[in-house]
């Protein structure tokens, strides 16, 4: 488990950090209360594989270079948390509150986010390969260049999310909302979008190869003219796909 320390005065803080840099291993976790008026900051590093942290109040926490693979954070409060260079593969973050968290470049492969709130997260280049995002809220999320290949996004809300260059291929997004989502150059190939909402979505240069959009709603011909499809693409009746080149 990560180590935890607290209640350092401003006068002693500099000395403690200098000593720690010399004698402590890089895998350190600590918390600092420098002043009652300053919110506590909790930082985690090192290895905490399969940690049990369900329901913990960790808003504003920082995870840097940490291995939290298989950790259990069900229902944890992680609002505005920062995940940097960390591994959360297979972690369970079901029902967690991750609003406005920073997740750039973090590995969440096969992690569980069912019913979690990730509204406004910054997850550019994050890895959600085969992650479970069922019924999760990712409204206004920044997901540019992220990997959601094989993800389960059934019933999830991606309203106004940014997916430029993201990979959403081979996933399941039945009844998901992509209303007003920005998806230029995104890869939607081979995914199931049964009953999904694409009203107002920007599909410029998006790949719809082999995608099932036959019962999706909110799509119009103008959107499809900006995207590209192939013979395996399934579209709503009356709409025609533009061939990919």
Averaged pLDDT of the chain: 87
Q: How far is CA 190 from the centre of its chain?
A: 21
Whether the per-residue pLDDT at 43 is higher than 70: the answer is yes
List pLDDT tens digits, range 213-226. 999 999 999 999 99
List pLDDT tens digits, range 173-187. 999 999 999 999 999
List pLDDT tens digits, range 80-110. 999 988 999 999 999 999 999 999 999 999 9
Q: What's the confidence (pLDDT) of residue 28? A: 32
């Amino acid at each position: 488990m990560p180590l935890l320390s607290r209640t350092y005065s401003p006068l002693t803080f500099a000395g403690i950090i200098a000593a720690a840099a010399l004698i402590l291993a890089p895998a350190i976790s600590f918390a600092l209360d420098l002043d009652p008026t300053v919110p506590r900051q909790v930082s985690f590093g090192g290895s905490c594989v399969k940690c049990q942290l369900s329901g913990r109040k960790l808003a504003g926490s920082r995870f840097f270079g940490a291995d939290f693979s298989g950790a259990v954070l069900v229902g944890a409060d992680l609002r505005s948390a920062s995940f940097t260079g960390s591994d959360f593969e297979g972690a369970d973050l079901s029902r967690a509150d991750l609003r406005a968290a920073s997740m750039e470049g973090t590995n969440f492969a096969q992690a569980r986010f069912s019913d979690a709130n990730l509204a406004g997260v910054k997850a550019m280049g994050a890895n959600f390969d085969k992650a479970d995002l069922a019924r999760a809220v990712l409204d206004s999320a920044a997901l540019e260049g992220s990997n959601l290949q094989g993800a389960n996004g059934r019933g999830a809300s991606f309203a106004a999310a940014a997916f430029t260059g993201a990979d959403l291929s081979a996933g399941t997004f039945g009844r998901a909302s992509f209303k007003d989502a920005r998806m230029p150059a995104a890869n939607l190939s081979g995914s199931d979008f049964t009953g999904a909402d694409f009203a107002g979505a920007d599909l410029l240069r998006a790949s719809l190869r082999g995608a099932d959009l036959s019962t999706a709603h909110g799509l119009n011909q103008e959107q499809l003219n900006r995207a590209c499809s192939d013979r395996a693409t399934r579209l709503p009746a009356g709409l025609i796909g533009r061939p990919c080149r």
